[in-house]
Amino acid sequence: MAHKFSLCITTFNRIDELSKTLSEIADRGFLSQFEVLLCDDGSTDGTSEFIQANYPSVILMRHDSNKGLIFSRNELINQVKTPFAFFLDDDASILGELDLNFATSYFENNPNCAVLALRIFWDSNKPNNYLSHKEPHRVRSFVGCGHIWRTSAWQQIPEYPERFKFYGEEDFAAFHLFKKGLEVHYYPDILIHHRVDIKSRKKNKDYIQRTRRSLRSGWYLNLMFYPKRLIVRRIAYSIWTQLKTKAFKGDLKAMIGLKLAILDLLINSFRIFKNSNRFSIAEFREFEKIEPARIYWTSDSST
């Protein structure tokens, strides 16, 4: 029987995390529900050899050198032949039950829905419970570590911009979808455990780069999509917030990331501004009425 869903995973030198993700999916019998596509983005830790030896049914794409998360995500979804593409990070797990027939029915009953934004729990440990009392509903955007694309909707918008590196590509897609009259819906029936301790990220070597890329991608999106009269004020407010909440409180790494992001903005702003797909004021007001993306779910809440 032909699959309706492709499971898409990109990875780079994280064989231990990837092994855990795939073994959990296999042990719970979920692999049979997917055609699995995996992009090994230039790993040097034996990832491709591990996949070939242990998961021969996986469709493996391998880069000779690291090309980046966004490049790999674009490549994966452009190879999808099924109606739906289920994206999962290599350090994420599917918790609870997984019945993709319900997700299929939801897409069928909501023809304007382009992306299902799944419920995400961020922590190194599993949540205390898996229950949510929320119903699916429209939101502005989605989280990259766990979401499902309607493949035909992806084909109607530009690819993720590789210059973002990571951060912001989901909002880029969501803005384009809005302009096309397509929607993102929060779908709490599928729970994703992103095995990341966010608080410890400040200690990681890539904290400065993460700060830099997060800030600049947000500013780039302002330049590309927001009404002109709002751009300067929103970027200035973002910079002031970073200064007040981080730099002025002694977070020197955040200060370095902020300076680098401002430099990126100055270098690239004209080119990005020129290639915009800007909201009208009316469109922007309608977009602002939509509930913000649900990024963090906690087990002691009803979200």
Question: What is the mean predicted confidence (pLDDT) over 80-93?
Answer: 97
Q: Is the pLDDT confidence value at 202 over 70?
A: no
pLDDT given for residue 76 in this prediction:
96
Note whether 279 and 226 are within 8 A (CB): yes
Region 289-301 average pLDDT: 90
- Between residues 163 and 154, the one the model is more confident about: 154
Domain 5-198 has CATH 3.30.1330.40: no
CB 21, CB 93: distance < 8 Å:
yes
Q: Which residues contact 119 (CB under 8 A, 6 or more apart)?
A: 132, 146, 186, 187, 188, 189, 190, 191, 192, 294, 297
Rounded-to-integer distance, Cα 68 and Cα 160, Å: 12
Q: For residue 166, what pLDDT is reported?
A: 79
Q: What is the pLDDT of residue 143?
A: 96
Decide if pLDDT at 18 tops 80. Answer: yes
Strand partners, 34: 5
Output the pLDDT for position 205. 77
- The predicted pLDDT at position 263 comes to 96
DSSP 3: -
Q: Parallel, antiparallel, or unpaired for β 146-150 and 92-95?
A: unpaired
CA 233 to chain centroid: 27
Structural domain spans, the chain: 5-198, 201-277
Kindly report whether the global pTM for this prediction surpasses the value 0.85: yes
Helix (H, G, I), strand (E, B) or coil at 191: strand
Q: In terms of pLDDT, which residue wins out, 269 or 170?
A: 170
